[in-house]
């Protein structure tokens, strides 16, 4: 419920603060007095876009602030989701700076315009001639139907199911596209993989083969060099081993004279031992070297195979070849297992579709049960508003495709006259008829769901006499379950309000200001009498005003 509204530096309003109550409040005033300014200010509160021309004093910021009692709106989850402090008495403030920049706050926490709009639509419903067209839209007609059918739970599940179906179909489509693409590559990839697997590649193999190739390609030279080295060590009289042995024997004779000489002797002895071991190793290597043309050819062939594979796959090592082999194995495996994955994805799609069909059947059944009651109640309310011959023909069908409306199509066809042709509201209902139909809808909805504060902006256009009185009664009845404001030019509706406010212009120091004041009993008599008979307040007009206000 809207409790207070404060406006500063907004258009013709310099400063305004007003308190509101529950029930039906009516707002009156001459055309052009500024009633639209109140709607504009409230529009800022619910997230409407800013026009910098609304700033009265261009050197100061414009501020619109409203307090709402939100205890009945079940908004705790919304506040938690948006990381806002929940207060039963919630403050929304909108500021427009002279630069044109706009800022919004909920309980003093800055919020984006999107968050403000999401909250605002749950608090205030500003109903103007433009909003009347909503009743012609499928979304709103389903909203009416579902309010009576109480399908909230099923529709929430259906919406979640639609998201799951979309994801499941997306996954299936991706698998099918991949299957087509992989099938085209499969034969080639399979051939490449077989080639690599048959090669039985090992990481260190290349370096070992290249070393072996060097040996087999140079056996004669290796044998000659090893023989020369061994001969240099073992040749008599001038061989390295004999000369070292003589040096060692010479040092042995003086080793006992000094620790230093003994150390030199031992080192020579160690060298002789190492040299003899070296000679033995070289002789063993010489024995191992053997010209083998067949093995040489085999090594050459193996290396050439590896080089060709590396060139084919644009790599330089066996390790990289094995990585290519791994990638090919994955691609071939994916292709070979793709059919199974597609079958699994198809089953997932079918399972979600089955659940959606079950939900759609439940939703359709619940909606079907309330169709007659919906049309009867709307027709009863419209009869009270002077449309005794208005009839509705609901057309609800279960469709095969899944849509956001729960697998249904729905049209609320209308005829204003007896024996008239039924047609869509958009085509056959006049502006005045649409206004009364929307009022009937709002009245009906207020009996089933908790609606936000509703503001009717001259919904009574084109209405008078007894119908105006019945419309006033409907607005009053509606206000029993929600806060209702009606901006009106009809005395019947103005008098029906529990509270009445007047919008008027006032000139102060040659500057025009828009003001809003709550009327007392005498003010209300005068205002309503003026609405009945004009500026000249006659006794008859005042008496009529008192009768409308039920004042003795």
What DSSP string runs through 241-269? HHHHHHHHHHHHTTGGG-HHHHHHHHHHH
Is 82 part of any domain?
Answer: yes
Nearest to 223 by CA among 233, 232, 215, 234: 215
Q: In a 10 Å sphere around its CB, with 0-12 CB exposed, 13-18 middle and 19+ buried, how is residue 122 labelled?
A: middle
The structure tokens listed for 220 are 């004669």
| Domain boundary residue, one of 314, 337, 360 | 337
What's the Cα-to-Cα distance from 287 to each of 207, 233, 290, 291, rounded to whole Å?
24, 17, 8, 11
The residue length of the chain stands at 552
Determine if residue 345 is left, alpha or beta; phi over 0 gives left, psi from -120 to 50 gives alpha, anything else beta: alpha
| CATH number of the domain that residue 2 is part of | 3.40.50.300
Same domain, 112 and 7: yes
Same domain, 243 and 114: no
Is 529 part of any domain?
Answer: no
- Residues 295-317, mean pLDDT to the nearest whole number: 83
Is 434 part of any domain?
Answer: no
Q: Tell me, what's the pLDDT at 237? A: 65
Dist CA 32 CA 514 (whole Å): 10
Domain that residue 461 falls in? 1-123+452-519
Q: For residue 481, how many C-alpha atoms fall within 13 Å in the half-sphere facing its CB?
A: 13
CB 38 within 8 A of CB 54: no
Determine if residue 108 is left, alpha or beta; phi over 0 gives left, psi from -120 to 50 gives alpha, anything else beta: left
Same domain, 279 and 193: yes
Strands 13-19 and 2-10: antiparallel
Q: pLDDT tens digits, residue range 309-354?
A: 888 888 888 888 889 889 888 887 777 777 888 899 999 999 999 9
Same domain, 108 and 223: no
Q: What is the dihedral of CA 437, 443, 444, 450, to 10 degrees?
A: 130
| Domain boundary residue, one of 292, 310, 337 | 337
Same domain, 108 and 21: yes
Same domain, 13 and 89: yes
Same domain, 67 and 200: no
Is 362 part of any domain?
Answer: no
- Tally of domains within the chain: 2
Is 4 part of any domain?
Answer: yes
Band (pLDDT 50/70/90 cuts) for residue 208 is: confident
Could you tell me the end-to-end alpha-carbon distance of the chain, in angstroms, rounded to an integer? Answer: 32
Dist CA 400 CA 357 (whole Å): 9
Q: In which residue are the tokens 């990585």 written?
A: 323
Looking at residue 332, the DSSP 8-state letter turns out to be H
Is 292 part of any domain?
Answer: yes
Q: Is the four-CA dihedral 239, 244, 249, 254 of positive or negative sign?
A: positive
Same domain, 96 and 221: no
Same domain, 38 and 180: no
Nearest to 189 by CA among 335, 336, 332: 332
Same domain, 187 and 331: yes
Band (pLDDT 50/70/90 cuts) for residue 294 is: confident
Is 377 part of any domain?
Answer: no
Give the least confident one: 23-27, 74-78, 253-257: 253-257
CB 486 within 8 A of CB 475: yes
| Domain boundary residue, one of 307, 337, 367 | 337
Residue 401: strand, helix, or coil: coil
Dist CA 91 CA 108 (whole Å): 8
Mean pLDDT of the chain: 88
What's the Cα-to-Cα distance from 504 to each of 31, 33, 491, 500, 507, rounded to whole Å?
9, 5, 17, 13, 10
Max distance between CA atoms of the chain, in angstroms, equals: 158
Q: Tell me, what's the pLDDT at 129? A: 64
Same domain, 183 and 247: yes
Dist CA 309 CA 370 (whole Å): 75
Q: Does residue 471 register a pLDDT over 80?
A: yes
Q: Tell me, what's the pLDDT at 366? A: 97
Same domain, 73 and 203: no
Residue 348: strand, helix, or coil: helix
Determine if residue 472 is left, alpha or beta; phi over 0 gives left, psi from -120 to 50 gives alpha, anything else beta: alpha
Dist CA 239 CA 37 (whole Å): 120
Determine if residue 241 is left, alpha or beta; phi over 0 gives left, psi from -120 to 50 gives alpha, anything else beta: alpha
Q: Tell me, what's the pLDDT at 552? A: 45
pTM of the entire predicted model: 0.67
Q: Does residue 213 register a pLDDT over 80?
A: no
Is 158 part of any domain?
Answer: no
Q: pLDDT tens digits, residue range 133-185?
A: 788 999 999 999 999 999 999 999 999 999 999 999 999 999 888 877 777 77
Q: What is the 3-state secondary structure (H, E, C) of 90-126?
A: EEEEEEECCCCCEEEEECCEEECHHHHHHHHCCCEEE
Residue 368: strand, helix, or coil: helix
CB 527 within 8 A of CB 50: no
Nearest to 243 by CA among 227, 232, 253: 232
């Amino acid at each position: 419920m809207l409790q207070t509204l404060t406006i500063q530096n907004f258009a013709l309003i310099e400063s305004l603060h007003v308190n509101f109550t529950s029930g039906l409040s009516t707002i009156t005033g001459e055309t052009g007095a500024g009633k639209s300014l109140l709607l504009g200010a409230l529009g800022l509160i619910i997230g409407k876009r800013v026009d910098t021309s609304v700033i009265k004093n261009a050197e100061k910021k414009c501020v619109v602030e409203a307090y709402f009692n939100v205890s009945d709106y079940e908004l705790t989850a919304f506040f938690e989701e948006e990381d806002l402090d929940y207060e039963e008495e919630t403050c929304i403030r909108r500021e427009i700076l002279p630069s044109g920049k706009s800022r919004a706050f909920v309980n003093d926490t800055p919020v984006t315009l999107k968050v403000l709009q999401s909250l605002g639509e749950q608090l205030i419903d500003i109903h103007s001639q433009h909003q009347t067209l909503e009743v012609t839209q499928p979304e709103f007609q389903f909203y009416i139907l579902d309010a009576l059918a109480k399908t909230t739970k099923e529709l929430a599940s259906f919406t979640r199911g639609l998201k799951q179906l979309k994801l499941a179909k997306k996954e299936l489509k991706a698998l099918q596209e991949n299957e087509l693409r992989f099938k085209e590559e499969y034969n080639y990839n399979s051939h490449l993989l077989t080639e690599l697997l048959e090669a039985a590649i090992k990481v260190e193999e290349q370096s070992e083969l290249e070393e072996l190739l060097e040996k087999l390609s140079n056996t004669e030279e290796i044998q000659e060099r090893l023989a020369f080295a061994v001969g240099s060590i073992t040749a008599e009289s001038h061989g390295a081993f004999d000369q070292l042995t003589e040096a060692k024997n010479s040092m042995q004779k003086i080793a006992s004279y000094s620790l230093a000489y003994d150390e030199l002797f031992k080192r020579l002895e160690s060298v002789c031992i190492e040299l003899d071991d070296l000679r033995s190793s070289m002789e063993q290597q010489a024995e191992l070297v053997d010209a083998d043309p067949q093995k040489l050819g085999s090594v050459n062939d193996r290396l050439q195979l590896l080089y060709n594979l590396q060139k084919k796959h644009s790599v330089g090592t066996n390790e990289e070849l094995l990585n290519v082999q791994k990638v090919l194995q994955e691609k071939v495996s994916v292709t070979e297992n793709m059919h199974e994955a597609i079958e699994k994805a198809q089953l997932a799609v079918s399972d979600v579709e089955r659940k959606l069909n079950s939900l759609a059947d439940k939703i359709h059944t619940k909606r079907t049960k309330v169709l007659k009651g919906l049309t009867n109640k709307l027709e009863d309310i419209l009869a009270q508003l002077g449309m005794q011959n208005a009839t509705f023909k609901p057309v609800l069908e279960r469709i095969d495709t899944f849509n956001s409306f729960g697998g249904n199509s729905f049209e609320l066809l209308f005829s204003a006259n007896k024996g008239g042709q039924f047609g869509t509201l958009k085509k056959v209902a006049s502006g005045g008829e649409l206004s009364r139909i929307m009022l009937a809808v709002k009245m009906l909805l207020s009996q089933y769901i908790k609606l936000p504060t509703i503001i009717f902006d001259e919904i009574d256009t084109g209405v008078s006499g007894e119908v105006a009185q019945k419309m006033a009664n409907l607005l009053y009845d509606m206000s029993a379950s929600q806060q209702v404001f009606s901006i009106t030019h009809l005395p019947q509706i103005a008098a029906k309000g529990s509270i009445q406010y007047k919008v008027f212009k006032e000139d102060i120091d040659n500057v025009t200001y828009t003001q809003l004041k709550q009327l007392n009993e005498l003010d209300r008599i005068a205002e309503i009498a003026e609405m009945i008979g004009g500026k000249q307040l006659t006794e008859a007009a005042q008496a009529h005003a008192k009768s409308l206000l039920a004042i003795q």
